[in-house]
Amino acid sequence: MAEKVTKLAFASRVIVMLLQLLANKLIPDHKADVFRAPLDVDAENTWLDKTITFALNGFRHWDGEYFLHIAEYGYTYENTLAFYPLYPMLVKSGAYGVHFLLGNFMNLRSCCLLVGVVLNVALFCKAANILYALTQRIFNDLNKSWNVALLFCFNPASIFFTAAYSETVFCLLSLYVMLECSCQIRVVRAAMALALNVAARSNGLVNLGFPIYFIVRKFILKQSSLLRAAMKVLCCLVLSLLPLTFFNFYAFRQFCAVDKPSNHSEVILDYATERKYVLSGYRYGEQSPWCDDNFPFPYSYIQSHYWHVGFLKYYQWKQLPNFMLASPILLFMLWHCIKYLYNFLANLLPKYPLFYLVKEYKTLPYIIHAFALTVFCVFFVHIQISTRLLCSATPCVYWFASDYMPKSLEKFELRSKAGLIFLWFASYVLVGTIMFSNNLPWT
């Protein structure tokens, strides 16, 4: 089955890549006033570079520009600190390896784009297999597991799992943490995966709840002592927070330390002047006020200062199209999560002992996690990212959707709830790929 799932996942990526290629060539790119990684005009542009640009350039838009810039140049501007380091580090390592092998046949910029896309395709195939294994572990239903894998491969945020975004590596690590916790809870493995998860995206911290829940569950089921459970929780906390601590220390050294010399190329300096960006290196005047905080963590400041992220800050009439874009997944998730949790709290909790509920209701922590993320999306984030955030962070999107799928394709009808799910997923794959590839607002 693993081979079948891998083939399905790879085929879905090929479809997205072909759609991107067609859209990027047939429709001119929208000239949005957004960050574009500065281009070194003096860099040699070979036929290989032109081929990579022709085939894959539609995958470098929006946040992809930031990730590829970090991979190529590092954290040169303060606003780049909003993007966590794991994915750009992986891209940088691979790109430098390819550049070393090819030498002058391909410049570093093209190497970063190529590696960024190829890496995501490979990780996506692995993530599909882990999701299949997790679903089979929880539900023990081969038909449901296959439908879940199928839905994942053509999910509404599909373009972001191939473009130069961190969604794929984050999704893989999140699913691995969940699978590890649902099995034996090998604490060191779970904690290391969680540490990488946190290094991939800021909301990786939420996944810390999984090892804690399953460790406490073992204690409730009398499979572990209190001391042993407490030590495991402490181990997970310490190991998982190490990358975040190192990244914040690095950010402080880059943007707050007065003795940190800058060594930027002319193209980086010129773009900083043009866009009025804060450069890493010497701190000037009142720049980077987060440096003076008692706990100088840049992420919340940068999200608020550069993107105006905060409680209800996105609730403006001009954002109505983005709310409409996010409404299918938000309404879908809120309805199913509330329905599940209401039934659990109103009908099950009063009737059955906690021991029984914790043992039998294996989906409970996943539903709570999905509900928390959905509520967070509603109130705090740029609402249009809800689709990619939820599709990459929780398996519940696919578990809920698979409940509407028929046992076999012969029984599938377009005029049914399964048909609505199909139209939703397919239209978002098609429209999302076309819009993203042409730098149109699909983020």
> Which range of residues forms the domain containing residue 349?
2-251+312-437
- Does residue 266 lie in a domain region? no
Residue 260 is predicted with a pLDDT of 64
Pair of tokens at residue 27: 């429709």
pLDDT in tens, the chain (443 residues): 789 999 999 999 999 999 999 998 898 888 888 888 888 777 778 899 999 999 999 999 999 999 999 999 999 999 999 999 999 999 999 999 999 998 888 999 999 999 999 999 999 999 999 999 999 999 999 999 999 999 999 999 999 999 999 999 999 999 999 999 887 777 778 889 999 999 999 999 999 999 888 888 887 777 667 777 778 888 888 888 899 999 999 999 888 876 666 788 889 888 988 998 988 887 776 678 898 888 888 999 999 988 888 888 889 988 899 999 999 999 999 999 999 999 988 888 888 887 788 878 889 999 999 999 999 999 999 999 999 999 999 999 999 999 998 877 777 777 788 899 999 999 999 999 999 999 988 87
- Does residue 265 lie in a domain region? no
Are 131 and 159 in contact, with CB atoms under 8 Å apart?
Answer: no
Q: Using only C-alpha atoms, what is the Rg of the chain?
A: 23
Q: What count of other Cβ atoms lies within 10 Å of the Cβ of residue 247?
A: 20
Residue 191 is predicted with a pLDDT of 86
Residue 285 is predicted with a pLDDT of 66
Q: Which amino acid is at 297?
A: F
Number of structural domains the chain divides into: 1
Residue 258 is predicted with a pLDDT of 65
Residue 261 is predicted with a pLDDT of 65
Euclidean distance between CA atoms 304 and 306, whole angstroms = 6
Euclidean distance between CA atoms 271 and 274, whole angstroms = 5
Residues 383-439 pLDDT 10s: 999 999 999 999 999 999 999 988 777 777 777 888 999 999 999 999 999 999 999
Residue from 236, 175, 204 nearest 87 by CA: 204
Q: Is the pTM of this model over 0.85?
A: yes
Are 132 and 5 in contact, with CB atoms under 8 Å apart?
Answer: yes
Exposed / middle / buried, residue 329 (Cβ in 10 Å: 0-12, 13-18, 19+): buried
Residue from 59, 19, 121 nearest 427 by CA: 19
Residue 428 is predicted with a pLDDT of 97
Give the torsion through C-alpha atoms of 136, 139, 141, 146, to 10 deg: -50
